[in-house]
Structure 1
Amino acid sequence: MSQTQAPIDEVLDALSRGEIDQAEARERLLSLQARPLGFATLDLDRPRRCGAAEVIFAEGKTPEQVVAIVRTLREQGGCVLATRCTDEQVAMVQSAFGGNDQLLVDALARTIIVGDPPAPADAAPVCIVTAGTSDLPVAREALSTCVAYGQPAELIVDVGVAGLHRLLGRLDTIKRSSVVITVAGMEAALPSVMGGLIEAPIIAVPTSVGYGSHFEGLAALLSCLNACASGIATVNIDNGFGAAVMACRINALAHPNTVEAS
């Protein structure tokens, strides 16, 4: 997702060489801020403002719309991440870009990365921990996001509180991280337990996994919000992407001598 200021530099260089006048330079610079596609208006200035390019939320979009957005974002440089993709959307993206671009598809996470992701930063990995195997789709969405943002990540699976010894056996690995994402459904006790065991900030992701009246993840969400342990922030149900973006930003701040590729 890394994007440089090359398009802006090209406009300024052309202006300084007298190849274009101020009016044309102004028009070109404005065109770099947003790109209307009829069905969407892409925010091309986001890397400068926020340090990260726009990510495609594919749900509800047609395969043709996803391809058009990918194509426009790829023109700006860097890789492009699309989340919540259908099989049809993935197939059309593969057909449109598979010949020229590297494609990283995670069918379980429903993500696709188009183009070469940045090399992982020289930093401690973001640790993504799931309570159960059923939480893997959300956890892998977080993992794909870390890959696209150029932050190293490690996935630890199925260490929920139903067998607490499994979590304790991985604590040495978890404690090496600057930030931990916990992904848990049902009663979502994992982030509370983790909050009493580690120093790093925790981002809790409640999932819509559970028996009976879990209310599609609402029970897990309320558990995370009401955690008695400190140092826990909670994102919305199944929002692995949002948790990973926050984790990548924290990780970049925790390792200021590295460059966040985002």
Structure 2
Amino acid sequence: MEAHEVLEQVKSGKMTVEEAEQFFKREPFEEMGYAKIDSHRKMRSGFAEVVFCQGKRDEFLLEIFHRIYKDEGEVMGTRASLAQYELLHKELPQVTYDPVSHILKIEKKDKKRSGLIAVCTAGTADIAVAEEAAQTAEFFGANVERIYDVGVSGIHRLLSRLEVIQKANCVVAVAGMEGALASVLGGLVSRPVIGVPTSVGYGANMGGISALLTMINSCANGVAVVNIDNGYGAGYLATQINRLGVHDEEA
């Protein structure tokens, strides 16, 4: 729950002053022994904590998911397995799972989205990483336009969607192989481009290093790069940029 929500509940009489006082007296994290839930993160950064599911013990994942859902009314987990979804679904039947992005989430039904982020991929093999970016941005309140399979080997496919891409507050370019898509987009749009190198490619791709090096050596202006396969990081950063764009439009 955010500070604004607490104050609104006090104003409407749904929460007593004493209950609100206890809320603001809480530690900025919840001690769980094996983990410390950052309960004030949304107050500081505007985004609640997200659960990285890969490698977590079942009992840890269950309790962490429960705690964040109880505090925020929604929760998202990344890099989750089908087995972890089945585990959570037994206790939280409202949880959903996307086997492409490996995202687990419970979202608020009345969520409003604003602005626009364009998430582009070079090929269909890059979609898993792109979906992690797109669904992260949507979870945090952004509208997302998906523009997939528009790599440089058939650049006419990209140019056919250029109008909608140029309307976005931020563009995410997801590409493996040589990773040229980010540079091309950087030369076509007036808004920031976030390059996401993927591990898709043949031997000399070196697990995404070739795409990473291409993107960080881009001669196009306005291109920034996240780590290999880091769709979540790209979606988060794109949402921050999108919020600035929405703020400028409303000003």
Q: Give TM-score scaled by structure 1 length.
A: 0.86
State how many pairs are aligned.
248
Post-superposition shift, 1:19? Answer: 5.3
| 1:105 aligned to which of 97, 103, 124 | 97
Q: Secondary structure at the match of 2:145?
A: strand
Question: Are 2:127 and 1:129 equivalent residues in the alignment?
Answer: no
Cα distance in 1, alignment partners of residues 218 and 17 from structure 2:
62
Q: What secondary structure is seen at the aligned counterpart in 2 of 1:119?
A: coil
Residue number in structure 1 paired with 2:161? 170
Q: CA deviation at 1:121?
A: 2.5
Q: Is the 8 A contact 1:117 1:150 kept in 2?
A: no
User: Is the Cα–Cα contact under 8 Å of residues 34 and 41 in structure 1 kept in the other structure?
Assistant: yes
Q: Deviations over 1:15-44 (max 9, x none)?
A: xx7858xxxx57x64535211112211100
Name structure 1 gaps, 5 residues minimum: none
Change (3 A) 1:162 1:119: same
Distance 1:163 1:250, change over 3 A: same
SS at match of 1:192: helix
Cα deviation for residue 144 of structure 1 reads: 1.3
- Counting helix residues as a fraction of each chain, which structure ranks higher? 2
Query: Comparing both chains, which one has the higher relative contact order based on Cα–Cα distances under 8 Å and sequence gaps of 6 or more?
Result: 1
Change in Cα spacing, 1:118 to 1:177, as seen in structure 2 (3 Å) is farther
* Residue 143 (structure 2) pairs with residue 148 (structure 1): no
- With over 3 angstroms needed to count, the CA separation of the structure-2 counterparts of 1:19 and 1:196, relative to structure 1, is closer
**How far apart, in 2, do the equivalents of 1:208 and 1:115 lie?**
30
CA distance in 2, matches of 1:210, 1:61: 29
Matched residue, 2:78: 83
Aligned counterpart in structure 2 of residue 191 of structure 1, from 182, 187, 211: 182
Return the offset for 1:4: 2.2
Rate the CA distance shift 1:11–1:166 in 2: closer, same or farther, 3 A. closer
Match for residue 211 of structure 1 among 202, 211, 214:
202
The amino acid that maps onto 1:213 is A
Contact conserved, 1:136 with 1:157, CA < 8 A, in 2?
yes
Runs of 4+ in 1 over 6 A off after TM superposition: 10-14
Q: 1:200-246: CA deviations, max 9, x gaps?
A: 11000000110112111111111100001000000010111111111
Corresponding residue of 1:182: 173
In the alignment, structure 1 residue 63 sits paired with structure 2 residue 58: yes
Contact 2:10–2:17 (Cα < 8 Å) also in 1: no
* AA of the residue aligned to 1:86: S
Q: Matches of residues 201-240 of structure 1 in structure 2 within 5 Å? A: 201-240=192-231
How far off its partner does 1:63 sit? 2.5
**What is the RMSD computed on CA atoms of the aligned residues?**
2.6
Of the three residues 113, 116, 132, the one matched with 2:108 is: 116
